[in-house]
């Protein structure tokens, strides 16, 4: 299990490397976030924090990855590791110096702790660039765990810092 987690952690950095190579051309970005949210059904409050990177590969289409930690508010030591690989679309403005860039995203999520679970995620939001290379990232993201018993949603409103 440790090898699997290490391998997934290393794989999550591939988009960050691609982002670093593309940064000079503003074709990628990194971000960190904090997301208050909840688990549905049930409604228990949660907190999710982490970071990731994206590289724009064709016009507004992007690929990325992130790693984080999702935990119930009541017990921060009872959380799960979260690893995601995503595709995204950024609605690029016609003006290069535009401040607001909306986006949508979705892809695969792996929850891990002593075992693992396969989920999918989707969401959307905006990057507000208050400087050329630093911005505010606001996003809604839902990690969906489908099962034959009951589908669970781990959703949150992300507030973060974006950089390119």
| CATH number for position 129 | 2.40.160.20
CA dist 49 → 27, 69, 96 (Å): 24, 6, 30
- Give the residue among 106, 57, 52 at the shortest CA–CA distance from 83: 52
**59 φ/ψ sector (left φ>0, alpha ψ -120 to 50, else beta):** left
Q: What is the pLDDT of residue 33?
A: 98
Q: What is the pLDDT of residue 98?
A: 82
Q: What is the pLDDT of residue 71?
A: 96
Cβ neighbours of residue 72 closer than 8 Å, sequence gap 6 or more: 39, 44, 45, 46, 47, 78, 79
Residue 141 in tokens: 């993201």
Q: How far apart are CA 49 and CA 82, in angstroms?
A: 9
Least reliable range by pLDDT among 12-16, 51-55, 77-81:
12-16
Whether pLDDT at 13 is above 90: no
Do 139 and 160 form a contact (C-beta atoms < 8 A)?
yes
Least reliable range by pLDDT among 14-28, 34-48, 90-104:
14-28
- Length of the chain equals 164
Q: What is the pLDDT of residue 20?
A: 45
Q: What is the pLDDT of residue 10?
A: 54
Do 106 and 125 form a contact (C-beta atoms < 8 A)?
no
Q: Taking residues 23-45, what's their average pLDDT?
A: 85
pLDDT band at 6 (very low <50, low <70, confident <90, very high): very low
Name the average pLDDT for the chain.
87
pLDDT tens-place string over residues 112-131? 999 999 999 999 999 999 99
The total number of structural domains in the chain stands at 1
Do 109 and 87 form a contact (C-beta atoms < 8 A)?
no
26 or 24, higher pLDDT: 26
The residue range of the domain holding 136 is 2-163
pLDDT band at 7 (very low <50, low <70, confident <90, very high): low
């Amino acid at each position: 299990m440790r090898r699997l987690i290490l391998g997934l952690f290393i794989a999550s950095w591939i988009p960050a490397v691609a982002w670093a190579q593309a940064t000079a051309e503003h074709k990628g970005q990194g971000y960190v976030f904090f997301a208050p949210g909840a688990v549905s059904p049930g409604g228990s409050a949660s907190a999710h924090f982490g970071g990731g990177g994206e590289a724009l590969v064709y016009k507004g289409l992007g690929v990325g990855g992130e790693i984080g930690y999702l935990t119930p508010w009541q017990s921060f030591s009872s959380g799960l590791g979260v690893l995601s690989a995503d595709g995204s679309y950024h609605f690029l403005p016609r003006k290069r110096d535009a401040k607001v860039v909306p986006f949508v995203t979705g892809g695969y999520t792996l929850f891990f702790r002593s075992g693992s679970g396969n989920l999918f995620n989707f969401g959307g939001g905006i990057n507000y660039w208050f400087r050329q290379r630093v911005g505010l990232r606001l996003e809604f993201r839902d990690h969906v765990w489908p099962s034959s018993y009951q589908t669970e949603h781990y959703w949150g409103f992300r507030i973060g810092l974006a950089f390119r």
